[in-house]
Amino acid sequence: MLKNKPDYYNDLDKVYLKIWDLLKVGLKNRDLPFHIPVFICGDKQKSDGRIVVLRGVDTKEKKIWFHSDIRSNKIKILNSNPEATLLFYDKNEKIQLRISGNTKINYQNNITKKSWEKTAHMSRQCYLGDKDPGANISIPTSGLTPEVDNLKYTKEESEIGYKNFCVIETFIKSIEWLYLAAKGHRRAHFSLKNNSLEKKWLIP
Ligand SMILES: Cc1cc2nc3c(=O)[nH]c(=O)nc-3n(C[C@H](O)[C@H](O)[C@H](O)COP(=O)(O)O)c2cc1C
């Protein structure tokens, strides 16, 4: 009866393992859709989503993280409401994940130091502009000098970007899973509170 169906199809424990597997594989492989989730946060007035690059997965502490610019608008939003969701979808796997939790903005601490040291030369470019991301500007521009635009800066020169760099961690509180299948979709919910895991099926 379950021919051609994955082993996690009717198994909540296997679904949970598959979730962490997808995150770990997505972290490493930039060609996979799980590498670039949509990060959604909002204040009382509105919520908004934006693509980010998944930079870390911690299965022990149940947290995931990405890098950002401390001057960006999402920081102001998270300061007023730290609750956020990361939305993932892999068309080949036919799996959607909505991962929600509390965020922590790391700035000039051991976590940012470690991450900054590992950032590639090219990635540092994002943090080398004088103006705030999202600031109004009268001409079309990257906001970078021609040298930085052309990656003509030394590692030493790029260190100034550290003052704009932050690491946004999401401490996972819940995960919602949706698996699309012609023979019947499956939807599940996982609650991760106080080191305990509650799992249940939902109607898709
Ligand atoms: C492929 C791709 C990857 C991106 N990665 C990041 C990222 O890791 N961190 C980030 O802050 N913004 C990233 N961005 C830019 C964001 O989508 C967004 O435009 C920017 O962070 C400003 O958002 P905000 O004004 O809501 O703060 C990425 C955009 C694309 C298209």
Distances (CA, A) of 180 to 17, 59, 94, 124, 184: 18, 25, 5, 38, 7
Which atom of ligand 1 lies nearest, measured to the CA of 68?
A: 11
Contacts of 36 (CB under 8 A, 6+ apart): 51, 52, 53, 54
Centre of ligand 1 from the C-alpha of residue 21, in Å: 24
Q: Ligand 1: which of 34, 39, 50 to mutate, judged by most atoms within 8 Å of the beta carbon?
A: 50
Long-range CB contacts (within 8 A, 24+) of 131-136? 132/71, 132/72, 133/69, 133/71, 133/72, 133/73, 134/72, 134/73
Average pLDDT over residues 57-84: 98
- Range with the lowest mean pLDDT among 3-7, 49-53, 93-97, 100-104? 3-7
Q: What is the pLDDT of residue 97?
A: 98
Q: What is the pLDDT of residue 138?
A: 95
Which atom of ligand 1 lies nearest, measured to the CA of 66?
A: 8
Average pLDDT over residues 22-42: 98
At 16, phi and psi to the nearest 5? -60, -45
Which residues, judged by CB distance below 6 Å to any ligand atom, belong to the binding site of ligand 1? 36, 48, 50-53, 66-68, 72-74, 133-134
Centre of ligand 1 from the C-alpha of residue 45, in Å: 21
End-to-end CA distance of the chain: 20
Which atom of ligand 1 lies nearest, measured to the CA of 134?
A: 25
pLDDT above 60 (res 143) = yes
Half-sphere exposure at residue 169, Cβ-oriented, CA atoms within 13 angstroms: 14
Rounded Cα–Cα distance for residues 62 and 192 (Å):
8
Ligand 1: which residue has its CA nearest to atom 31?
51
Q: What percent of the chain is predicted at pLDDT more than 90? A: 96
Q: What is the pLDDT of residue 194?
A: 81
The tens digit of pLDDT for each residue in 178-192 reads 999 999 999 999 999
Amino acid at 63: K
Listed in sequence order, the DSSP H helices in 57-125 are: 73-80, 110-118
Taken in order of first residue, the domains within the chain and their CATH numbers are: 12-111+165-202 (2.30.110.10)
Q: What is the pLDDT of residue 99?
A: 98
Can you read off the two tokens belonging to residue 105? Answer: 């903005």
Q: Are 67 and 115 in contact (CB under 8 A)?
A: yes
Which atom of ligand 1 lies nearest, measured to the CA of 53?
A: 8
pTM: 0.97
Predicted confidence band at 193 (pLDDT cuts at 50, 70, 90)?
A: confident
pLDDT above 80 (res 140) = yes
Centre of ligand 1 from the C-alpha of residue 50, in Å: 6
User: Which segments of 18-118 are extended strands (E)?
Assistant: 38-42, 47-51, 56-58, 63-69, 83-90, 95-106
Ligand 1: which residue has its CA nearest to atom 20?
50
Centre of ligand 1 from the C-alpha of residue 183, in Å: 37
Q: What is the pLDDT of residue 1?
A: 44
- Looking up tokens 């102001």, which residue turns up? 76
Nearest to 37 by CA among 88, 97, 95, 100: 88
Average pLDDT over residues 157-183: 97
